[in-house]
């Protein structure tokens, strides 16, 4: 079942030896790379050792079943049942560990929320989603930084772009990409009618320069005077930055920082993530043409979730999950939803 495990054990032993080599330790980048690889393989080897121990216990119990002692055979039968159950459980856990990990899972996240169909109510709900993700990030001890925001006169945002900084942020937020539908009575609705509005969410992993080939000659920078909330420098200095990537036409504005350099740095980070995402989307489309993926980042126009306020109901359409505790979810309690999506994603990967 685990035919490649012996090779992985040899590799782990080799890495364990090399990370203690003084010459390797002196090369900081090489040592860190090996330590990271060691840390990724260690849980797999540990689980494989548990699995082999359970298999040995089963084999020993089978031998005892051949003994003449009736009492010993009874004990052996009980031990065999226990060992077989342990072997099955550990095999499942080991398979999950062997599922290829998304290389972006530990990265920070750039999220973009835009009001869609529904006018003011869509913009208001975009603000609600931003608050939901901010509170969820806070519960995980992640940091949130706004990149740019276009506020709506009625409240909320026409669009808002922000970073979520913290280990594992992408692993839990990547499933939020898609169209979020809200059904509720708007505060402006005097007749009490339920309106349906939509908001689009995009989730991009923050990428390093080594992940993306970016020619700075393809980038055009414009500076302008910031507007809105931002402190004393707003409307007094040209600190805001507009970055245009000429080949793709991607335009990014950043005015959250008082420093022009910091805004430029943030805009470049967003651009690199967008370029990386374009390439990932191409790969996703190629795969999707061969096999429809149930979970994952999916297409930007996919309706993934409905928030029905009159019924206090949230439904995630990808996994058929329905929960009747909408208030706590929009206040940032997303773990049950996210855990269900992660489990379904792993099950699909195992099946494939």
DSSP letters of 244-303? EETTTTEEEEE-SSSSHHHHHHHHHHHHHHHHHHHHHHHHHHHHHHHS--SSSS--TT-E
The CA distance from 121 to 115, in Å, is: 8
143: left (phi over 0), alpha (psi -120 to 50) or beta: beta
- Of 32-46, 53-67, 185-199, 232-246, the poorest mean pLDDT is in 232-246
Answer yes or no: is pLDDT of 212 > 80.
Answer: no
Window from 43-52, 72-81, 99-108 with minimum mean pLDDT: 99-108
CA 291 from chain centre, in angstroms, equals: 21
Mean pLDDT, residues 38-46: 90
Cα distance between residue 33 and residue 37, in whole Å: 6
**What pLDDT sits at residue 126?**
95
> pLDDT at residue 182 above 80?
yes
Backbone φ and ψ of 148, nearest 5°: -155, 155
pLDDT at 192: 78
Query: Which range is most confident: 110-114, 249-253, 256-260?
Result: 110-114
The per-residue pLDDT for 296 is 46
Q: Are 316 and 180 in contact (CB under 8 A)?
A: no
Tell me the per-residue pLDDT of 299-326, one tens digit each, with 9 for 90 and over. 445 789 999 999 999 999 999 999 999 9
Q: Are 114 and 126 in contact (CB under 8 A)?
A: yes
Per-residue exposure over 223-239, b if at least 16 CB sit within 10 Å of its own CB, e if not: eeebeeebeebbeeeeb
The answer to whether the CB of 223 falls within 8 A of the CB of 142 is no
Reported as a pLDDT band with limits 50, 70 and 90, residue 66 is confident
Predicted TM-score (pTM) of this structure: 0.66
pLDDT number for residue 103: 80
| pLDDT at residue number 237 | 58
Assess whether pLDDT exceeds 90 at residue 142.
Answer: yes
Averaged confidence pLDDT in the chain? 84
Whole-number Å distance between alpha carbons of 200 and 117: 10
- Helices (H) and strands (E) counted in the chain, each on its own, are 9, 11
Greater confidence (234 vs 123) lies with 123
> Which one-letter DSSP state was computed for residue 67?
S
121, 186 Cβ separation under 8 angstroms: yes
Bigger pLDDT: 234 vs 21: 21
pLDDT for residue 199 is more than 90 = yes
Mean pLDDT of 43-65: 92
pLDDT of 239 higher than 70: yes
Residue 68 pLDDT class (50, 70, 90 cuts)? confident
Structure confidence at residue 4 (pLDDT): 76
Helix (H, G, I), strand (E, B) or coil at 78: helix
Q: What is the pLDDT of residues 262-296, one digit of tens each?
A: 888 888 888 888 887 777 777 566 545 444 443 44
- SS3 state of residue 321: strand
Q: pLDDT at residue 329 above 90?
A: yes
Write out the two tokens for 222: 């414009």
The answer to whether residues 305 and 316 touch, using CB atoms and an 8 Å cutoff, is yes
If 0-12 CB within 10 Å is exposed, 13-18 middle and 19+ buried, where does residue 61 land? buried
Instruction: Give the pLDDT of residue 242.
Output: 83
Sign of CA dihedral 226, 232, 235, 238: negative
Q: Which residue has the higher pLDDT, 325 or 92?
A: 325
Does the structure show a pLDDT above 60 at 298?
Answer: no
């Amino acid at each position: 079942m685990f035919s490649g495990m012996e090779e992985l054990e040899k590799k782990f032993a080799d890495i364990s030896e090399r990370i203690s080599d003084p010459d390797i330790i002196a090369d900081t980048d090489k040592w860190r790379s090996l330590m990271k690889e060691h840390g990724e393989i260690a849980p797999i080897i540990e689980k494989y050792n548990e699995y082999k121990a359970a298999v040995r216990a089963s084999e020993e119990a089978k031998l005892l079943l051949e003994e003449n002692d009736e009492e010993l055979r009874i004990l052996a039968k009980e031990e065999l049942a226990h060992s077989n159950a342990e072997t099955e459980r550990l095999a499942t856990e080991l398979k999950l560990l062997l599922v290829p990990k998304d290389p972006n899972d530990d990265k920070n996240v750039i999220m973009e929320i835009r009001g869609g169909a529904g006018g003011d109510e869509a913009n208001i709900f975009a603000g609600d989603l931003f608050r939901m993700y901010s509170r969820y990030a806070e519960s995980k001890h992640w940091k949130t930084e706004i990149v740019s925001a276009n506020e709506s006169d009625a409240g909320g945002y026409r669009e808002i772009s922000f970073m979520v900084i913290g280990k594992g942020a992408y692993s839990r937020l990547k499933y939020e990409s898609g169209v979020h539908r809200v059904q509720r009575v708007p505060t402006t609705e005097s007749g009490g009618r339920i309106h349906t509005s939509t908001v689009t969410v995009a989730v991009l992993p923050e990428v390093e320069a080594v992940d993306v080939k970016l020619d700075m000659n393809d980038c055009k920078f414009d500076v302008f005077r910031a507007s809105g909330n931002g402190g004393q420098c707003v409307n007094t200095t040209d600190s805001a930055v507009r970055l245009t990537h000429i080949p793709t036409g991607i335009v990014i504005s950043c005015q959250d920082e008082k420093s022009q350099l910091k805004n430029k740095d943030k805009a470049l980070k967003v651009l690199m993530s967008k370029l990386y995402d374009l390439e990932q989307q191409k790969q996703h489309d190629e795969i999707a043409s061969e096999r429809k993926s149930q979970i994952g980042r999916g297409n930007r126009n996919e309706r993934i979730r409905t928030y029905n306020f009159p019924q206090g109901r949230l439904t995630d359409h990808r996994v058929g999950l329905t929960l009747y505790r909408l208030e706590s979810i929009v206040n940032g309690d997303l773990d049950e939803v996210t855990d269900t999506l992660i489990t379904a994603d792993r099950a699909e990967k195992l099946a494939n």
